Amino acid sequence: MAMMRYAEALRAALREEMQRDPSVWLMGEDIAVYGGVFKVSKDLMEEFGPERVRDTPISEQTLTAMAVTAAMAGTRPVLEIMYADFLPLSVDALMNQASIYNYIWNGQVTMPFVLRTQGGGGAGAGAQHSKSLDALVAHIPGIKVVAPATAADAKGLLKAAIRDDHPVVFLEHKLLYNTRDEVPDGEHLVEIGKARIARAGTDVSIIASSKMVVDALKAAEELAKEGISAEVVDLRTLRPLDRDTIRASIARTHHAVVVNEGWRFCGYAAELSATIMESCFDDLDAPVERVATHDIPIPYSEPLESTVLPDAAKIAAAARRALA
Amino acid sequence: MKNSPTVEEQLEMLRRMVAVRHLEERLGELHKAGKTRGPIHRCDGQEAVGIGATAMLDDEDLLTSTHRGHAHYVGKGVGMHPIVAEILGRVTGACAGRAGHMLIADMQKGLLGGNAIVGGGIPAATGFAVSLQMKNRADGGQRVAMCIFGDGAAQTGICHESMNIAALWKLPVVFVLEHNQYGLTAHHSTQSSVPDLSVRAAGYGMPSEIVDGNDVIAVHRAVGAAVELARRGEGPSLVEAKTYRMVGFSTSDVGGYQKNEDLATWRERDPIVLARAVLADSIAAERLDAIAAEARAEVDAAVERALSDPLPTFTDHAPSAPYTVAGA
Amino acid sequence: MSGDITLAGGAGEYMESATVVSWSAKLGEPVKVGEVVVVVETAKAATEIEAERDGVLAEILAPEGAEVGIGAVLGRIADSLPASAPQAVTMVEVPLPAPATPEMPAIVVSGEVGRRISISPLARRLARQAGLDPAELTGSGPGGRIKSRDVERALRECAPVPAAAIAPPARPASAMPATTAAPLVLIHGFGANAAAWNMLRPHLDGVRQVLTPELPGHGRTAALSKPSLDGLAEAVLEQIEASGASECDLVGHSLGGAVAAVLSGNLSVRVRSLTLIAPAGLGPEIDGAFLAGFLTARTPEGLQPWLDRLVGDAATLPRGYAQAVLRERERCGVGAAQAEVAQTLFPDGTQAIRIAGDLGRFSGPLKVIWGSADGIIPHAHQNDLPGHVACHRLKGVGHMPHVEAGELVARLIGQCVRSVI
């Protein structure tokens, strides 16, 4: 075990996979010479050369489409899209190209590429650099979507994503890059599609992903002082969704709070809520409580931004409502 | 002349062009008879581009096509029966009935594939070229990617992004602009600030050439030179093949926007007639007739067989896919 | 006619909860459409909620100071108050209390006739299994919603009722005597749970206390590590003891009948009478194919044919029964536990348990009810019973007389219970 920052864990995953497999290569804006604006690919160009670590023009739409077909033609590109807010530019390639080929071409092709990006608010980056667009990508069949909350999962899931033969969108969070936790030494892989219980509890299940797991754990800590035992489910993978872990948790607690940093309306939390209603209805002792970002552009000034974003206090309040 | 096709190669291109023309005509009938689904985009009169541009490609070279790709499919060597069966939605089709006529792909033949998002094939071919460049450098291969796209697609933002990246990274890709003058109903003069789109290549530092798109030999020669360049690792090129769309945008197009005199002029320049005329000096008319008859018979046989092939039944997903029917 | 005053009706959508600041209208006062009736405070601003119809403020469900969730019903506007109004209007609290307080103030569900009962899915399921009528329960959740804790409290409260505290019967003419403190204990059969008695209970007229313990590995009762008939009986006895009863009347079906017979001689809770329905333990034959098929079925389609064998007429089975059995099996992991019970008590499709001795020793009123069309345990087992046992054979009825002929079985149980000296 080693204490590692989330960004370092990602870098370790990239490095190990590039060492292991010469067909793995990276592209993105400012990732090579500069090492990425969040320094995830720092020093990798020096180690692997400019052909495998490529700085690109600002052409997200084309770069995403290129990742799709480069993967089809036998290499394993890892594309960095600097901000999740730029994902709408990638969506045509994801939705009209990557999503369709394996299915409509009847399994003739696979597309082992990873699209890494980072989203989330709380850093005062404004309406075009703070969004969480989980639902936008998780909506697309044939695309896997992962969103790790810890350094250990960041490493294990990125390695698994690079080895996956199908498109994976890898959602990071700008406020997680500097968080630290224990990362297992040596070969560490985390299976895509498996949630984890981040904290066990008996009264209410808080289901979250990415940075919201951190907030959910804080909320659970607060609730514990009030005698409420909250279980925190860290989804880790948004699609395919680990319904079994959710079901099992709610069968224990009978109360659910679903949390997602994306917009509330038609957001990822809504999918969680519907899933719970479909598969755990008879186990519910209260309506599912939903915590998400208000349906407004994310404003700049601190009191405005903190009002619209979910946080630990809002999650705790939702848990109390569920248990009322 | 360099890159000129041999007589045998010309005969094969003629055979393929006749086959494509007959395929389009049969599809027109089948559509009227209600045997096909959705619109069909025919390429009557444009066959020389697709057939001429692909004639020098190998199976390991990867081609991206358009929504009007029947000549590209045939040119890249996909069998007539899998094409027809796919268009008729049969389980024996190239994609088992999942793709339809606009999206046909054949991995074995390096056709990947039709694309009905206009312009979608341009970054796709550029992406192929990155992988092919890496593979070529690793094993000394000479694989190339090719993108056949239209004058409508040339106006998209991704066309600019792709050509810039292709030139910047000296990628082994050939851009073949099949300029048929119309984007759906809109004449290119209402869509482009310049009549000759190939002038844009200079902006990327990329060589370009304009050729008569109805002259299969000229297309073959120009594209062949571009392919040679790409195989040698000298980067991308743009070949602008000027042609004309003789039928509507699709089977749902009621027409009325193309001038009769234009249609008449281009009809006289039918690429099959032109190709046959070139061969008439050296090949007996009987042999040319026999080749044409054989091509048409191949199409008819494929249609007959496909019509009696079974329709697919729904299955959950492709053999290796992460798709689900009921939830993720 | 009445209309709800809801939080969603008045406040913006960018909030998850609000606090009730003040009620502008008073209970019983007339209100007009568009008039402000209540002011709530959301995260940042106070919002006035207006009446959406004319009428009288008939009910305040969220008092001032209460924190309420989006969509919550704050109160109701009615056309007019009932005759006894306004005193009859129930003033209820919808608190969001400090969670440290373990017991929340009870909320009275307004007794308005025909009003929909608000109950959580889990509470509904638990109430059904326990044979409780949701209409009789008091909800402590938001807006008076009945939650699982309310069902559990009701079960706790109804269990140890001392004799003196028993309320006088609402309907003295009922089939069941109401003058005794001894609960009527219903023990379900193999593969069932407490809900097995749902079709019978309405006929018991509900005025006396009924206990429906569950066999280990069934319903919500934990499985035994090594199942045995005595072990099952002991676990059931513990549940009866937990009610505080010192005596009881026992009814048992099939395997539950054998358990009841074993319990008839226990020393801790005196058994006054014994009614056995198609009991196990009176002969070696049992339908082994049924046991195997029932236990291995994984789909409703695979289970239904076996369930059909349970009854004389398949139409008498409640709809969705197969799904309910499978759901419970999947949810609680009871499948494996039941397989082990069957393996131990009915090895190789043979009954390895005997209750003749227990019946011989029992001196109280004793009835054995059997269906003539029982396909699981042959009714011929009734033939060799000793003379003090009253035998009833129900024509055309299968292995589930309490389901197939609930009214008659209830009457027979009543006779047996009443004949206690």
At which of A148, A183, A218 does a domain end?
Answer: A183
Residue A188 lies in a domain: no
Give the per-residue pLDDT at C330.
65
A100 close to B (CB below 8 A): yes
Average the pLDDT over C95-103 and give the result.
39
Give the per-residue pLDDT at C167.
38
Claim to verify: residue A293 and residue A152 sit in the same structural domain: no
The yes-or-no verdict on residue A201 having pLDDT over 80 is yes
Alpha helices in chain A (DSSP H): 6-20, 44-48, 60-72, 87-92, 99-104, 134-138, 151-163, 211-225, 243-253, 268-280, 302-308, 312-323
DSSP-assigned letters across all residues of A41-71: TTTHHHHH-TTTEEE--S-HHHHHHHHHHHH
The yes-or-no verdict on residue A203 having pLDDT over 90 is yes
Domain ranges of chain C: 1-96, 97-158, 176-418
Chain A residues with beta carbon closer than 8 angstroms to that of C141: 286, 324
Q: Which residues pair with A118 in a beta bridge?
A: A172
Residue A305 main-chain phi, psi, to 5 deg: -65, -45
With a CB cutoff of 8 Å and minimum separation 6, the contacts of A43 are: A35
As a whole number of Å, the CA-based R_g of chain A is: 19
Judge contact between A67 and A113, C-beta under 8 A: yes
- Encode pLDDT of C266-282 as tens digits: 888 889 999 999 999 99
CA–CA distance, A259 with A267 (Å, rounded to integer): 10
A23, A51, A73 ranked by CB distance to B132: nearest: A73
Beta-carbon separation of A321 and C96 below 8 A? yes
β-pairing verdict for B62-64 and B186-187: unpaired
Residue A166 lies in a domain: yes
- Encode pLDDT of A151-176 as tens digits: 999 999 999 999 999 999 999 999 99
Work out the pLDDT band at C34, boundaries 50, 70, 90: confident
Give the per-residue pLDDT at C82.
52
Domain count, chain A: 2
Claim to verify: residue A254 and residue A106 sit in the same structural domain: no
CA–CA distance, C301 with C110 (Å, rounded to integer): 43
CATH code that applies to domain C176-418: 3.40.50.1820
Give the per-residue pLDDT at C50.
80
Instruction: Tell me the residues of C at the A interface, defined by beta carbons under 8 Å apart.
Output: 13-14, 16-17, 43-44, 67, 69, 95-100, 102, 120-125, 141-142, 145, 147-149, 327, 331
Task: Say what percent of chain C tops pLDDT 90.
Answer: 25
- Residue type (1 letter), C84: S
Claim to verify: residue A134 and residue A231 sit in the same structural domain: no
Chain A residues with beta carbon closer than 8 angstroms to that of C67: 321
- Tell whether the torsion through CA atoms of A25, A31, A34 and A36 is positive or negative: negative
In CATH, the architecture of C1-96 is Beta Barrel (2.40)
Task: Say what percent of chain B tops pLDDT 90.
Answer: 91
CA–CA distance, B161 with A246 (Å, rounded to integer): 43
Q: Under DSSP, is residue B252 helix (H, G, I), strand (E, B) or coil?
A: coil
Work out the pLDDT band at C46, boundaries 50, 70, 90: low
CA–CA distance, B102 with B117 (Å, rounded to integer): 10
At which of A140, A161, A183 does a domain end?
Answer: A183
- Encode pLDDT of B232-266 as tens digits: 999 999 999 999 999 989 888 888 899 999 999 99
* Residue closest to A26 by CA, chosen among A62, A71, A79, A67: A79
Residue A320 main-chain phi, psi, to 5 deg: -65, -40
Claim to verify: residue A105 and residue A211 sit in the same structural domain: no
Work out the pLDDT band at B327, boundaries 50, 70, 90: very low
- Tell whether the torsion through CA atoms of C315, C321, C326 and C329 is positive or negative: negative
Interface test with C, best of A223, A277, A285, A289 (most C CBs within 10 A): A285
More confident residue, A202 or C302: A202
The yes-or-no verdict on residue C392 having pLDDT over 50 is yes
A293: domain CATH number is 3.40.50.920
Claim to verify: residue A145 and residue A97 sit in the same structural domain: yes
Claim to verify: residue A288 and residue A206 sit in the same structural domain: yes
Burial of B286 (0-12, 13-18, 19+ CB in 10 A): exposed
CA–CA distance, B56 with B298 (Å, rounded to integer): 22
Long-range contacts: A214-218, Cβ < 8 Å, 24+? A214/A149, A214/A176, A214/A179, A215/A259, A215/A310, A215/A311, A215/A312, A215/A315, A216/A259, A216/A312, A216/A315, A218/A312
The most confident of the ranges A32-41, C31-40, C105-114 is A32-41
CA distances A159 to A47, A67, C281, C397, Å, are 18, 17, 61, 64
Give the per-residue pLDDT at A124.
95
Residue B201 main-chain phi, psi, to 5 deg: -55, -35
More confident residue, A95 or B2: A95
The C-alpha of C138 sits at a distance from chain A's nearest C-alpha, in angstroms, of 14
Give the per-residue pLDDT at C16.
58
Give the per-residue pLDDT at C315.
80
Beta-carbon separation of A57 and B168 below 8 A? yes
Average the pLDDT over C317-344 and give the result.
75
What residues make up the domain containing A163?
2-183
CA–CA distance, C147 with C379 (Å, rounded to integer): 43
Claim to verify: residue A120 and residue A242 sit in the same structural domain: no
Q: Which two tokens stand for residue C178?
A: 């109401």
Residue A189 lies in a domain: no
The yes-or-no verdict on residue C17 having pLDDT over 80 is no
Judge contact between C280 and C353, C-beta under 8 A: yes
Give the per-residue pLDDT at B112.
97
Claim to verify: residue A131 and residue A227 sit in the same structural domain: no
Q: Which residues pair with A232 in a beta bridge?
A: A199, A206
Judge contact between B151 and B184, C-beta under 8 A: no
Average the pLDDT over A18-45 and give the result.
97
Claim to verify: residue A227 and residue A161 sit in the same structural domain: no
Residue A196 main-chain phi, psi, to 5 deg: -135, 155
The most confident of the ranges B313-327, C14-28, C235-249 is C235-249
The yes-or-no verdict on residue C136 having pLDDT over 90 is no
Q: Which two tokens stand for residue B219?
A: 């297309």
Q: Which two tokens stand for residue A238?
A: 């948004």
More confident residue, C8 or B116: B116
The Cβ-side half-sphere exposure at A166, using a 13 Å CA radius, reads 23
Residue A176 main-chain phi, psi, to 5 deg: -95, -20
Residue B200: DSSP 8-state: G
A109: domain CATH number is 3.40.50.970
Work out the pLDDT band at C132, boundaries 50, 70, 90: confident
Average the pLDDT over A194-211 and give the result.
97
Residue A261 lies in a domain: yes
- Encode pLDDT of A308-322 as tens digits: 999 999 999 999 999
Work out the pLDDT band at C295, boundaries 50, 70, 90: confident
- Encode pLDDT of B124-134 as tens digits: 999 999 999 99
With a CB cutoff of 8 Å and minimum separation 6, the contacts of A140 are: A91, A94, A95, A99
A69 close to B (CB below 8 A): yes
* Residue closest to B80 by CA, chosen among B116, B39, B27: B27
CA–CA distance, C223 with C239 (Å, rounded to integer): 14
The yes-or-no verdict on residue C256 having pLDDT over 90 is yes
Beta-carbon separation of B161 and A77 below 8 A? no
The yes-or-no verdict on residue C128 having pLDDT over 90 is no
Give the per-residue pLDDT at B3.
74
Average the pLDDT over C33-61 and give the result.
77
Claim to verify: residue A174 and residue A29 sit in the same structural domain: yes
Q: Which two tokens stand for residue B189?
A: 């003069």
Judge contact between A91 and A135, C-beta under 8 A: no
Claim to verify: residue A30 and residue A160 sit in the same structural domain: yes
Burial of C101 (0-12, 13-18, 19+ CB in 10 A): exposed
* Domains of chain B and CATH, by start: 7-306 (3.40.50.970)
Region for residue A187 given its phi and psi (left: phi exceeds 0; alpha: psi -120 to 50; beta: otherwise) = beta
Claim to verify: residue A163 and residue A203 sit in the same structural domain: no
Closest-CA residue in chain A for B316? A103
Residue A290 lies in a domain: yes
A60 is annotated as an active-site residue: yes
The yes-or-no verdict on residue C41 having pLDDT over 50 is yes
C97-158: CATH, from 4.10.320.10, 3.90.1170.40, 2.40.420.20, 3.10.310.10: 4.10.320.10
Give the per-residue pLDDT at C170.
37
ipTM over 0.90: yes
Q: Which two tokens stand for residue C319?
A: 């709809």
The yes-or-no verdict on residue A42 having pLDDT over 80 is yes
Give the per-residue pLDDT at C195.
81
Average the pLDDT over C346-358 and give the result.
90
With a CB cutoff of 8 Å and minimum separation 6, the contacts of B19 are: B74, B80, B295, B296, B298, B299
Residue C36 main-chain phi, psi, to 5 deg: -70, 125
Judge contact between C123 and C151, C-beta under 8 A: yes
- Encode pLDDT of A97-133 as tens digits: 999 999 999 999 999 999 999 999 999 999 999 999 9
CA distances A257 to A212, A218, A250, A317, C53, Å, are 12, 14, 10, 10, 34
Beta-carbon separation of C121 and A283 below 8 A? yes
Q: Under DSSP, is residue C283 helix (H, G, I), strand (E, B) or coil?
A: coil
Alpha helices in C247-345 (DSSP H): 255-263, 288-296, 300-310, 321-332, 334-345
At which of A159, A183, A207 does a domain end?
Answer: A183
- Encode pLDDT of A251-260 as tens digits: 999 999 999 9
Give the per-residue pLDDT at B322.
60
Interhelix angle for A312-323 vs A211-225, to 10°?
Answer: 50
Residue A29 lies in a domain: yes
Work out the pLDDT band at C159, boundaries 50, 70, 90: low
- Encode pLDDT of B258-311 as tens digits: 999 999 999 999 999 999 999 999 999 999 999 999 999 999 999 999 999 999
- SS3 per residue for A185-241: CCCCCCCCCCCEEEECCCCEEEEECCHHHHHHHHHHHHHHHCCCCEEEEECCEEECC
The C-alpha of C147 sits at a distance from chain A's nearest C-alpha, in angstroms, of 6
Give the per-residue pLDDT at C86.
39
* Residue closest to B56 by CA, chosen among B230, B180, B187: B230
The yes-or-no verdict on residue C11 having pLDDT over 50 is no
Task: Say what percent of chain C tops pLDDT 70.
Answer: 79
Give the per-residue pLDDT at C88.
34
The yes-or-no verdict on residue C258 having pLDDT over 60 is yes
Total Cβ atoms within 10 A of residue B136 = 18
CA–CA distance, A293 with A120 (Å, rounded to integer): 10
Q: CA angle, corner C176, sides to C174 and C178, nearest 5?
A: 95
Give the per-residue pLDDT at C45.
60
Q: Which chains touch A (3 or more CB pairs under 8 A)?
A: B, C
Interface test with C, best of A276, A282, A295, A304 (most C CBs within 10 A): A282
CA–CA distance, A43 with A49 (Å, rounded to integer): 10
Burial of C414 (0-12, 13-18, 19+ CB in 10 A): buried
Beta-carbon separation of A226 and C98 below 8 A? yes
More confident residue, C99 or A114: A114
Q: Which two tokens stand for residue A218?
A: 């804080």
Average the pLDDT over C337-344 and give the result.
86
- Residue type (1 letter), C199: M
The most confident of the ranges A61-65, C234-238, C325-329, C372-376 is A61-65
Residue A265 lies in a domain: yes
Give the per-residue pLDDT at C319.
66
Taking all residues of chain C, what is their mean pLDDT, rounded to a whole number?
Answer: 78
